[in-house]
């Protein structure tokens, strides 16, 4: 009887240890669902901060444009440029402290994040092939900064440098004796 009991306890221990190594979540399913539902893919705080600063600088853009590959967060059609505001964890920002691998269910997370990274590369290549310039802004560049203007200055310089290479000015000939006129003919104004 004693040997059977020890063998049973040993098997139970191995069973519970194997369950724990597979996936032990600190929250129950309801709480986990609630937490995950609060994670959004668009209109995140870093996106809103960047959009507000770009708008204040005078840039006009489209948001989450579904007709382009990857549904870019910000599209600047005038500059033929798209901006992705990527979360460091979800898109694996190399060398960033926020791009960690969770200790539970590790294989799942590695596979999921690897797929995100591959999809990002594919979408970026598709956009390049369509003639778009792609900028990637990471969450950590916006997350805890008090002054976003250096980032906006960097984006502005990049957009203007790229824009000046594409645009050309066409000059029209004008003879010296020719007077420029507006669309309306001259009408004398009579005071009454």
In a domain, 18, yes or no: no
Q: Which residue has the tokens 């579904």?
A: 66
Tell me if 132 sits within 8 A of 124, measured CB to CB: no
In a domain, 77, yes or no: yes
In a domain, 143, yes or no: yes
Cα gap 72→39, rounded to integer Å: 18
In a domain, 141, yes or no: yes
In a domain, 145, yes or no: yes
Tokens for 33, please give them.
């669902």
Q: Containing domain of residue 59, as a range?
A: 53-158
Task: Give residues with Cβ within 8 angstroms of 24, minimum separation 6.
Answer: 104
Cα gap 149→53, rounded to integer Å: 8
In a domain, 187, yes or no: no
How many independent structural domains does the chain possess?
1
In a domain, 6, yes or no: no
Q: What is the CATH number of the domain that holds 69?
A: 3.40.960.10
Predicted TM-score (pTM) of this structure:
0.66
Tokens for 86, please give them.
């990527």
pLDDT tens for each residue of the chain, 192 residues long: 555 555 545 555 554 444 444 456 677 878 766 766 666 667 788 889 999 999 999 999 999 989 999 999 999 999 999 999 999 988 999 999 888 888 888 899 899 999 999 999 999 999 999 999 999 999 998 887 888 899 999 999 888 887 665 544 344 454 555 554 444 455 565 655
In a domain, 63, yes or no: yes
């Amino acid at each position: 009887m004693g040997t059977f009991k020890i063998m049973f306890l040993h098997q139970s221990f191995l069973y519970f240890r194997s369950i724990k190594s597979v996936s032990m979540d600190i929250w129950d399913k309801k709480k986990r669902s609630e937490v995950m539902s609060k994670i959004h893919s668009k209109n995140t705080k870093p996106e809103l901060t960047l959009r507000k600063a770009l708008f204040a600088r005078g840039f006009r853009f489209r948001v989450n444009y579904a007709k382009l590959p990857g549904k870019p967060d910000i599209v600047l059609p005038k500059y033929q440029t798209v901006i992705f505001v990527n979360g460091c964890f979800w898109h694996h920002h190399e060398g960033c402290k926020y791009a960690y691998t969770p200790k539970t269910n590790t294989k799942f997370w590695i596979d999921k994040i690897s797929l995100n990274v591959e999809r990002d590369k594919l979408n970026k290549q598709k956009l390049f092939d369509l003639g778009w310039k792609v900028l990637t802004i990471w969450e950590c560049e916006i997350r805890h900064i008090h002054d976003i203007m250096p980032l906006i200055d960097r984006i502005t310089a990049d957009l203007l440098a790229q824009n000046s290479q594409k645009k050309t000015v066409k000059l029209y000939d004008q003879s010296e004796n020719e007077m420029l006129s507006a669309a309306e003919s001259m009408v004398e104004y009579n005071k009454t």
